[in-house]
Structure 1
Amino acid sequence: MTDAALLRRIERLEALDAIRQLPAKYALALDMRDMDAMVSLFEPEVRVGKGASGRQALRAYMDRTLRAPFTGTSHHIGGHIIEFDAEDRAHGIVYSKNEHETPAAGGADEWVIMQMMYADDYVRVEGRWFFARRLPLYWYATDLNKPPVGPAKMRWPGTEWVEGNFHKLFPSFAEFWAREGDSGAPVAEPAPLDRFLETMRRGQAAPKVQVRATE
């Protein structure tokens, strides 16, 4: 192996480690309500909604959304898959299991549990990796004592129940339930290196997301 090839491998490992720390740092900063620490994980010109951009706009938005609905939160980070699009750009999927203490109608607090994943985009700016975008994909949210069995699994206190988008980025889930058994087709070849997520998505567009609360 040449020195240049070894250097590229070391740089890739360093990039993977830096990106893997971003969701963990995000969870800690969010749960501890350190708004400056949280927004510093995003690129300087991060988009915030349709008409704003930048870390200050993101901080103002998150400050508003974290005050009304919750007393406290805890975000538990799970599996993280990262693939590179270019030397300075990457994307990934990371699981998150979350807990929220939240006031319900009539003043009684509820303990809302949530299962979701993030579809992330990452960018390296001046040698440092940041979030470029976080797309939240929800499966369920409900009070701890009310299992989310059945449709419309997003069940926040004081709101109408709605369907999540946990499975909508990957067409395989709907295809699985649309057939009665194994298709009998030959097993597909393994996905190319750094193309596992792209292969699973098969060109599926990102679903529209109504960002709710901290997620």
Structure 2
Amino acid sequence: MSLKTLLASTVLALATVAAPAAAQDQPTYSSNYAADRAEIEDLTARYLFAIDYHDWDAYVATFAEDGELEFAAGVSKGREAIRETVIDFAAGIGRFYHTEDGEPAKLRHVMLQNAIRVEGDRAWGRILWVEMANDGPGDSMKMGTYGLYEDEYRRIEGRWLIQRRNVLNEFIDSRNSGPENPVAEMDAAADAYAASVAALP
């Protein structure tokens, strides 16, 4: 056997041995994962459309009755508290985002990477988001803030809802993500939950 053939065989053998270990780093998806993920993605899109168009009934309807919203201003629990918080936020944001004539700018949120873990009727998400508005020169579009949503979801009476959303802002020292991979943190929470369910009698 030539040295070249020996090296190729060794590399192939090492790759074959290493493959199962790498695969174990990925979650195992259930047969319902695609449907659950689609519903959760639709839920989070409805959340963003609702906040951008000030549809507060639709906004609070994305949360469980006892859901929680956390962001830089603090934590709100329950739909009515969340409604009050987001209305106050929307009223105040015009001081920071406004057109050249002083009118509140139009804010639009966009979701980017979206990792979701589902374990039965519980799910976890990590979503990278950006925000833009027409508050640039001449009321042009300007990219504003960006951050990460740390989410927990529950399926309640057949519908996925937000149980808890923590809005992280990467430009605020006390409200940014990391340094650990947020998806690894999400997987650890999901794995811990799955293990606790498996341990039940």
TM tier, smaller: 0.5 to 0.7
Matches within 5 A, 1:184-203: 197-198=186-187
Question: Take 1:195 and 1:98, find their aligned partners in 2: how far apart are those partners?
Answer: 25
Aligned to 2:116: 82
Q: CA deviation at 1:167?
A: 3.2
- 3-state SS of paired residue (2:165): strand
* AA aligned opposite 2:80: Q
- 1:19 matched to 2:40? The reply is yes
Question: Take 1:118 and 1:48, find their aligned partners in 2: how far apart are those partners?
Answer: 10
Q: 1:37 aligns with which of 58, 61, 71?
A: 58
Q: CA deviation at 1:137?
A: 1.8
Aligned to 1:60: 84
- 3-state SS of paired residue (2:163): strand
- 3-state SS of paired residue (2:93): coil
Question: Take 1:25 and 1:101, find their aligned partners in 2: how far apart are those partners?
Answer: 22
TM-score of the pair, normalised by structure 2: 0.60
**Pairs aligned (count):** 144
CA-to-aligned-CA distance 1:146-192 (integer Å, 9 cap, x gap): xxxxxxxx4xxxxxxxx254333x4369xxxxxxxxxxxxxxxxxxx
Question: Take 1:47 and 1:139, find their aligned partners in 2: how far apart are those partners?
Answer: 20
Question: Take 1:117 and 1:22, find their aligned partners in 2: how far apart are those partners?
Answer: 16
* AA aligned opposite 1:78: L
Contact 1:83 1:195 in 2 (8 A): no
Q: Which has the higher contact order (CA 8 A, sep 6+)?
A: 2
TM-score of the pair, normalised by structure 1: 0.57
- 3-state SS of paired residue (1:38): helix
Question: Take 2:92 and 2:75, find their aligned partners in 1: how far apart are those partners?
Answer: 23
Contact 2:69 2:164 in 1 (8 A): no
Question: Take 1:119 and 1:41, find their aligned partners in 2: how far apart are those partners?
Answer: 15
Question: Take 1:42 and 1:112, find their aligned partners in 2: how far apart are those partners?
Answer: 27
Aligned to 1:158: none
| Larger proportion of helix | 2
Matches within 5 A, 1:1-215: 9=31, 11-47=32-68, 53-70=77-94, 71=104, 72-84=106-118, 86-100=119-133, 113-140=144-171, 154=172, 163=173, 165-168=175-178, 170-171=179-180, 197-198=186-187
The 1:112/1:171 distance shift into structure 2, 3 A limit, reads same
RMSD: 3.3
Higher Rg: 2
